[in-house]
Structure 1
Amino acid sequence: MKTQTSTGSPTALHRSLTTRQLTMIALGGVIGAGLFVGSGKAIGSVGPGVVLVYLGAGGVIILVMRMLAELAVASPETGSFAAYATRELGPWAGLAVGWLYAYHWCVVVAFEAIAGAAIAVREAPWAPSWVAALVFMALLTGVNLTRVRSFGRFEFWFALIKVTAIVVFIALGALALLGALPGVRPPGLANLTGLGGLFPRGPAPILTALLVVFFSYFGTEVVTLAAGEAQDPAHAVRRAMRSVAWRVLVFYGGSILIVVTLLPWNATQVTASPYTAVLAHLGIPGAAVVMDLIVLTAVLSCLNSGIYSSSRMLYAMSRLGEAPAALSLTTRSGVPVLAVLAASAAGFLAVVANYFLPTAIVFSFLLDSSAAVAVVVYLCIAATQIAGRRRRDREGARLTVRMWGFPYLSCFVVGALITVIGAMAWTPASRQPLALTLVVTTIAVTTGAVWQHRRPRGRHWRVRPPRPVRPLERAEGGE
């Protein structure tokens, strides 16, 4: 059954997500396995000063999210920044960033399936890792094939578990630092000022750590993709973006500060699993098992979000003629079923690869092949916001959400992201991920340019016309 948007135009996607669910989806996107697991690598390479790296990168992410909020509140729709890039920069940009983003999340789906399987095998060593990955993929693909409300509910509870875990972790850590936790001696500032200071390995490792940090933050933009299925999209996006800003600083900066203050940054336990090491230090019974369950929740949450994000981007691009038409087919419950299956395919391929190859090989390859895509996507969002804001200012349009300090902070974000890319090229450890990203980006941009050149003038603005298909319905109308 078709629903009606607030403007009265028909849509194949159902507006079922509540403001509360959208807010938790945004928070869930902030807290992922990259924080619980990847932070150990960053701490080991940088030292205690990694807190400043997380805060600095977090500040840039907050600015990017503010830029995206300006675009999304003015025009909330599925596909969000890819559609905005098409409008403001040209069809080549929308197609390129849309496919890059979908590619990234497809890789993340595979990455998280393998990561989740590795955790499950630690707790149940009798189970083959590929079987665990297959179970996770089948379960969450099934969730995404039902109503979007099911995705919202699952992601709400996933996010709630992660948020609660981080809040409890910070609270316990703060008590330990203040000497208020029985049996734990407060270390003072010894772990921050000793052992070589804040940056014992010098500035070079900071550039390598930035890759891990940006990968950890990626996912906050999911809320704008979900706006097209929200009951009150403009209000929900505005509220979700506000909540993300300060929580990025508290959750990441606060929890990492707890880790490097309580324990030596170069301890083997910290680099392997920093949060588990802290819980064990605080005397929490079964710390490793507790942390494994929390990380597994984070992994499944990212897996769930990855399938959703990639499928909605493919759906939106299909409606604009930038992806195969079949991907814009939806069920009567408003689910782009073929787009969901396409997004899930990478995860199932990873299951097959995991059966024939050791987990570590697959895990490392997937991480390297997608790590720098986040920086490219953020750069495109920034360029789109600058172009869109200038156009709206010329037209005299009124915006309910505006980027702070425009155009200075917007240009600062662009400069910061370009600096990160340049630093990656200068750092040997990050050259391979950057090279893989540039290859994928070049292919996407070239394809977009060729597509724009060959497409009849003006056609890129049109959404595919309605054409009911049973038992599926083709997406129609605007969001």
Structure 2
Amino acid sequence: MAEQKLARNLSKRHVSMIALGGTIGTGLFLGAGDSIQKAGPAILLIYIITGFFIFAMMRALGELLVSDSSKPVFIDFMEEYLGPRAGFILGWTYWLGWIIIAMAELTAIGNYMHFWFPNMPIWIWEFAFLAVLYLINVTAVEAFGETEFWFSMIKITAIIAMIVVGFVMAIFQVKTSVGVTHFSTLWSHGLVAHHGHELLAAFQMAFFAFLGVEFVGITAAETKDPLETIPKAVNSIVVRILIFYIGALAAIMTIQPWSDYSGKMSPFVQVFSGIGIASAAGIINFVVLTAAASSLNSSLFTTGRMLYSLSEGQGPFSKLNKHAIPMRAINFSALLIGLVIILNFIFPNDAFSLVTATASATFLVIYGSLMITHLKFRKSKNYQKGKHYFRLPFAPYLNFLTIAFLFMIFLILLFTPATMMTTLIAVVWFVVLYVISLMKIKK
């Protein structure tokens, strides 16, 4: 029987947008207000520092992917270089983490649609979005890529509009309800909002804003010309961080003093409302709806590929359909994600924010393990005998610095009262998976 392989049907255009979509999410559109309130203009430096280490992690991931693009998911590299037990724990953690994130995003979609249709039950919208995105994911890889392309395009358009509006208003010194717009508005009210723990907490928020950037690593086995496409997608992340994160936040704090923003509302809504656009809430609601749908779309893609990889060629989830898509794995993942529609009748929506934060905390461990995997790869025979098209510069020193940075964020999570419990739950999560691995894996 011929070996089944995932089809390489994602184009350069798709992968480029997927990489971009992974760096722009609801963390920027909704969470930036809290970050600005805690750090002030210093948030720009915090995003630059965090973005630097995220880029280092992505360069390490890119080097691994280019060394062997046949692996379905990047967790396979962890299993090869850290051992089967580490691969088991990190693989199932990554799969479960994306399942939980998808549940939270599906809940968010229902709430966003409730904004326009307050009299319709939320579960109808949740079911409709999940059904449509499921059909896209099981139809063809190209359909997923095309959908994600346009989701990302909407997010990019919103951010570019914000940057252009801010730049033009500063040049012409447009008067708004909060005063006259100047470039100096960015720094004239102080550079740092808080010192100490409040400022450190902003690092944690910046990290969560980048969560999902590694998603491009899931697409490697289904990418045309991976030796060319993957390096370009990874390298472009730097420019995107500078333009879309730094540019958007700088524009927001130029139009309106950073001290005027509320941490409980999207700064995009606040700034559009401040310049007299009455439909600001509706515009941003559409954008964050797109961001949530994009995350759900990516979740279906990721969890299906992860479950296919974790099955290790055995069992029902190891089969591909005629389109070379792991349909059974996607079916099972979608079924689990869909349980949130029922659970939302029983538990309040806020319960999922706790679980999502727990899943997010585990990504710190996954990213740190990725840097350790890269260190092991550099010492392996595969590296010594291979052709190196794409390397992480300043390794291994940059590996150690990145691991230290991730550990710092983990400590911030652990000693922040609002996230202490979720971090401890994440630790329990790893302990439980380790115990299960002792029963399943003998070495």
User: What is the TM-score of this pair, normalised by structure 2?
Assistant: 0.93
In the superposition, relative to structure 1, how do residues 392 and 253 fare at CA in structure 2: closer, same or farther (>3 Å)? farther
Residue 386 of structure 1 pairs with residue 375 of structure 2: yes
Alpha-carbon shift at residue 91 of structure 1 (Å): 0.7
Equivalent position of 1:48 in the other structure: 41
CA distance in 2 between partners of 1:98 and 1:370 (Å): 13
Equivalent position of 2:316 in the other structure: 326
For the 8 Å contact 1:88–1:384, the answer to whether it is kept is: yes
Superposed CA offset, 1:17-54 (max 9, x none): 11111111111111111111122222233333222222
My pick for the range that moved more, 376-385 or 420-429, is 420-429
Equivalent position of 2:328 in the other structure: 338
In the superposition, relative to structure 1, how do residues 57 and 449 fare at CA in structure 2: closer, same or farther (>3 Å)? farther
CA distance in 2 between partners of 1:130 and 1:29 (Å): 26
Code of the aligned partner of 1:87 = E
Equivalent position of 1:26 in the other structure: 19
Classify the secondary structure of the residue corresponding to 1:44: helix
For the 8 Å contact 2:300–2:330, the answer to whether it is kept is: yes
2:65 to 58, 67, 72: 72
CA distance in 1 between partners of 2:266 and 2:53 (Å): 26
1:189 to 184, 189, 193: 184
Residue 350 of structure 1 pairs with residue 345 of structure 2: no
Equivalent position of 2:158 in the other structure: 165
For the 8 Å contact 1:116–1:299, the answer to whether it is kept is: yes
Residue 265 of structure 1 pairs with residue 258 of structure 2: yes
Equivalent position of 1:416 in the other structure: 405
Residue 442 of structure 1 pairs with residue 431 of structure 2: yes
Equivalent position of 2:136 in the other structure: 143
Superposed CA offset, 1:422-472 (max 9, x none): 222232222112112111122233433543326xxxxxxxxxxxxxxxxxx
Classify the secondary structure of the residue corresponding to 1:231: coil
CA distance in 2 between partners of 1:182 and 1:202 (Å): 32
My pick for the range that moved more, 389-398 or 376-385, is 389-398
In the superposition, relative to structure 1, how do residues 108 and 394 fare at CA in structure 2: closer, same or farther (>3 Å)? closer
For the 8 Å contact 2:33–2:261, the answer to whether it is kept is: no
Equivalent position of 1:234 in the other structure: 227
Alpha-carbon shift at residue 66 of structure 1 (Å): 0.4
Superposed CA offset, 1:374-400 (max 9, x none): 211100110000110121487343311
CA distance in 2 between partners of 1:134 and 1:266 (Å): 40
Q: CA RMSD in A?
A: 2.2
Superposed CA offset, 1:204-229 (max 9, x none): 02333333322221212111211111
CA distance in 1 between partners of 2:106 and 2:171 (Å): 39
In the superposition, relative to structure 1, how do residues 275 and 84 fare at CA in structure 2: closer, same or farther (>3 Å)? same
2:94 to 97, 101, 115: 101
For the 8 Å contact 1:36–1:273, the answer to whether it is kept is: yes
For the 8 Å contact 2:15–2:233, the answer to whether it is kept is: yes
Where structure 1 has 5 or more consecutive residues not aligned to the other structure, the ranges are: 3-8, 455-479
Residue 407 of structure 1 pairs with residue 396 of structure 2: yes
Equivalent position of 2:354 in the other structure: 365
2:292 to 299, 316, 322: 299
Residue 119 of structure 1 pairs with residue 109 of structure 2: no
CA distance in 1 between partners of 2:37 and 2:129 (Å): 30
My pick for the range that moved more, 258-267 or 404-413, is 258-267
In the superposition, relative to structure 1, how do residues 320 and 148 fare at CA in structure 2: closer, same or farther (>3 Å)? same
CA distance in 2 between partners of 1:393 and 1:233 (Å): 18
Classify the secondary structure of the residue corresponding to 2:92: helix
Equivalent position of 2:414 in the other structure: 425
Superposed CA offset, 1:262-310 (max 9, x none): 3233435564110111122233351111111111111101110011111
2:195 to 202, 212, 221: 202
2:365 to 361, 369, 376: 376
For the 8 Å contact 1:211–1:372, the answer to whether it is kept is: no
CA distance in 2 between partners of 1:429 and 1:341 (Å): 35
Alpha-carbon shift at residue 330 of structure 1 (Å): 1.8
Code of the aligned partner of 1:349 = L
In the superposition, relative to structure 1, how do residues 189 and 203 fare at CA in structure 2: closer, same or farther (>3 Å)? farther
My pick for the range that moved more, 336-345 or 303-312, is 336-345
For the 8 Å contact 2:40–2:258, the answer to whether it is kept is: yes
For the 8 Å contact 1:44–1:271, the answer to whether it is kept is: no
Classify the secondary structure of the residue corresponding to 1:252: helix
In the superposition, relative to structure 1, how do residues 450 and 400 fare at CA in structure 2: closer, same or farther (>3 Å)? farther
Alpha-carbon shift at residue 112 of structure 1 (Å): 0.7
In the superposition, relative to structure 1, how do residues 163 and 190 fare at CA in structure 2: closer, same or farther (>3 Å)? closer
Code of the aligned partner of 2:180 = R
CA distance in 1 between partners of 2:316 and 2:204 (Å): 35
For the 8 Å contact 1:91–1:448, the answer to whether it is kept is: no
CA distance in 2 between partners of 1:217 and 1:337 (Å): 29
CA distance in 2 between partners of 1:385 and 1:242 (Å): 17
Code of the aligned partner of 1:327 = F
CA distance in 2 between partners of 1:337 and 1:394 (Å): 34
Equivalent position of 1:462 in the other structure: none
Equivalent position of 2:279 in the other structure: 286
CA distance in 2 between partners of 1:206 and 1:313 (Å): 36
In the superposition, relative to structure 1, how do residues 250 and 347 fare at CA in structure 2: closer, same or farther (>3 Å)? same
Where structure 2 has 5 or more consecutive residues not aligned to the other structure, the ranges are: none
CA distance in 2 between partners of 1:71 and 1:356 (Å): 43
Classify the secondary structure of the residue corresponding to 1:178: helix
Superposed CA offset, 1:138-164 (max 9, x none): 221221121111111111111111112
Code of the aligned partner of 1:147 = A
